[in-house]
């Protein structure tokens, strides 16, 4: 344990490190007013929703061959709709290594109770900080996978394991991945992500991106082929295939929250001005590097994920080193929460405690809306609070 740490002289300007909702964009944000009180079916309302879809496509460099649609309920709502609409014809493999991925496995097993012919396989690890071996995926089955494990700080290192020629659909939960890391759109058939992670916008809305292969699958296995109940919020398809209303006519199933739409548009305009996707990924990497450099200087702290190849750069998870921190078992469990609370009470930093089911430690959101200099200063304060 370090014997003496100098107390920082000033507090960070930006203090929010929640992994969702995340800190909003800072400085130079363009003004934009959504059409409050107008119908989302009106020409003005649909114009604004189309602007949002176009900005998502442009900033994230989504190919023109892919469809983009909007859905309510955040990424959770979007993924549940995807599962019900697109899964069923093929066996599905769920690759998981943290809370939300394992949650998808649970939900899909529930669908199997309704359709006994639906085969669900488990390809995962149940220990935070580890990553499964994906080399066994041969493309013959559908695959559900998380791009970046927000709760564990572990991400997909690349998309090379996915065969170019495959029979199954690759469904990606890109909740905290889209905008923070590169996604190979040629390898991913359905990608779902919300407004409230990389973009720092209000929660509620998500985007669903479909590849031509996903569109073809929907035409071959339309709504009438489903063996499980299809409630209205899950119907991304109809009896002819993909819903044209959602993916071609800018008509989401449920009424969008205009304030949430407006916050996402403002965030995307800000990120477009900054340099788009390349800037977003670079900014995320820079923020991660700040933490990596800091960890190397302090022997009492370490990454929850030991492998830098799969270590998340956006949701960065840390734990106290049990062999070098000088703390007993009870202290290792309680100290992180006490530090987070103390730093919040002194208006230094907020919401960087570990996810509830993860090992005790710290979790910093490091996406593109995080200000690098403030992050550096926050870590100096963290070292001081730990020493106290």
For residue 231, what pLDDT is reported?
95
- Higher-confidence residue of 327 and 191: namely 191
Q: In what order do the strands lie in the sheet with 67-72?
A: 67-72, 205-210, 190-194, 170-173, 142-146, 92-96, 120-124
* pTM score: 0.96
Where does the pLDDT of residue 357 fall: very low under 50, low under 70, confident under 90, or very high at 90 and above? confident
* Top-tier CATH class for 43-272: alpha beta
Where does the pLDDT of residue 276 fall: very low under 50, low under 70, confident under 90, or very high at 90 and above? very high
Per the listing, tokens 């199997």 go with: 112
For residue 305, what pLDDT is reported?
97
Is 125 within 8 Å of 97 (Cβ atoms)?
yes
Please give the share of the chain, as a percent, with pLDDT higher than 70: 99
- The neighbour count for residue 4, using CB atoms within 10 Å, is 5
Is 40 within 8 Å of 205 (Cβ atoms)?
no
Per the listing, tokens 């309704």 go with: 114
State the Cα–Cα distance between residues 302 and 324, nearest whole angstrom. 10
Encode pLDDT of 161-200 as tens digits.
Answer: 999 999 999 999 999 999 999 999 999 999 999 999 999 9
For residue 3, what pLDDT is reported?
58
**Where in the chain are the domains?**
43-272, 276-387
Using a 10 angstrom Cβ sphere, with 0-12 exposed, 13-18 middle and 19 or more buried, the burial of residue 344 is middle
* Stretch 328-353: mean pLDDT: 95
Using a 10 angstrom Cβ sphere, with 0-12 exposed, 13-18 middle and 19 or more buried, the burial of residue 210 is buried
Please write down the HEC assignment for all residues of the chain: CCCCCCCCCCCCCCCECCCCCCCCCCCCCCCCCCCCCCCCCCHHHHHHHHHHHHHHHHHCCCCCCCEEEEEECHHHHHHHHHHHHHCCCCCEEEEECCHHHHHHHHHHHHHHHHCCCCCEEEEECCCCCCCCCCCCCCCCCEEEEECEECCCCEECCCCCCCCCCCCCCEEEECCCCECCECCCCCCCCEEEEECCCCCCCCCCEEEEEECHHHHHHHHHCCHHHCCCCCCHHHCCEECCEECHHHHCCCCCCCCCCHHHHHHHHHHHHHHHHHCHHHHHHHHHHHHHHHHHHHHHHCCCEEECCCCCCCECCCEEEEEECCCCCCCCHHHHHHHHHHHHHHHHHCCCCECCECCCCCCCCEEEECCCCCCHHHHHHHHHHHHHHHHC
End-to-end Cα spacing for the chain? 11
Is 237 within 8 Å of 223 (Cβ atoms)?
yes
* Top-tier CATH class for 276-387: alpha beta
Please give the share of the chain, as a percent, with pLDDT higher than 90: 89
For residue 60, what pLDDT is reported?
98
* Stretch 39-62: mean pLDDT: 94
Give yes or no for residue 2 having a pLDDT over 70. Answer: no
For residue 84, what pLDDT is reported?
97
Give yes or no for residue 29 having a pLDDT over 90. Answer: no
Give yes or no for residue 128 having a pLDDT over 80. Answer: yes
Is 364 within 8 Å of 291 (Cβ atoms)?
yes
Give yes or no for residue 287 having a pLDDT over 80. Answer: yes
Q: Which residues of 311-339 are buried (b: 16+ CB within 10 A; e: fewer)?
A: bbbbbbbbbbbeeebebeeeebeebbeeb
Q: In this structure, what are the phi and psi dihedrals at residue 213, rounded to the nearest 5 degrees?
A: -65, -40
Is 205 within 8 Å of 74 (Cβ atoms)?
yes
Give yes or no for residue 9 having a pLDDT over 90. Answer: yes
* Per-chain mean pLDDT for the chain: 95
């Amino acid at each position: 344990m370090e014997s003496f740490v100098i107390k920082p002289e000033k507090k960070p300007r930006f203090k929010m490190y929640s992994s969702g909702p995340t800190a909003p964009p800072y400085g130079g944000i363009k003004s934009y007013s959504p059409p409050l009180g107008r119908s989302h079916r009106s020409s003005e309302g649909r114009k604004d929703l189309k602007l949002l879809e176009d900005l998502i496509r442009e900033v994230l460099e989504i190919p023109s061959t892919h469809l983009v649609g909007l859905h309510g309920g955040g990424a959770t709502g979007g993924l549940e709709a995807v599962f019900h609409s697109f899964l069923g014809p093929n066996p599905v493999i769920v690759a998981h290594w943290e809370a939300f991925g394992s949650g998808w496995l649970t939900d899909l097993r529930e669908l199997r109770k309704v359709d006994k012919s639906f085969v669900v396989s488990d390809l995962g690890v149940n220990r935070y900080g580890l990553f499964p071996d994906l080399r066994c995926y041969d493309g013959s089955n559908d695959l559900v996978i998380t791009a970046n494990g927000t709760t564990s700080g572990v991400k997909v290192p690349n998309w090379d394991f996915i065969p170019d020629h495959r029979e199954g659909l690759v469904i990606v939960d890109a909740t905290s991945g889209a905008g923070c890391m590169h996604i190979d759109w040629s390898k991913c058939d359905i990608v779902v992500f919300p407004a409230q992670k990389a973009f720092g916008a209000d929660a509620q809305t998500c985007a669903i991106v479909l590849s031509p292969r996903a569109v073809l699958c929907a035409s071959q296995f339309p709504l009438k082929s489903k063996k499980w109940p299809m409630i209205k919020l899950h119907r991304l398809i109809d009896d002819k295939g993909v819903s044209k209303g959602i993916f071609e006519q800018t008509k989401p199933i449920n009424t969008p929250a205009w304030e949430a739409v407006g916050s996402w548009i403002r965030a995307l305009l800000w990120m477009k001005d900054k340099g788009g996707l390349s800037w977003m990924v670079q900014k995320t990497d820079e923020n991660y590097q700040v933490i990596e450099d800091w960890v190397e200087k302090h022997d009492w702290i370490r990454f929850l994920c030991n492998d830098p190849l799969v270590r998340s750069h956006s949701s960065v998870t840390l734990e106290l080193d049990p062999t070098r921190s000088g703390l007993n078992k009870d202290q290792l469990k309680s100290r992180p929460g006490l530090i987070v609370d103390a730093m919040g009470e002194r208006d230094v930093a907020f919401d960087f405690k570990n996810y509830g089911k993860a090992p005790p430690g710290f979790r910093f959101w490091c996406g593109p809306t995080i200000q690098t200099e403030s992050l550096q200063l926050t870590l100096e304060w963290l070292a001081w609070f730990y020493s106290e």
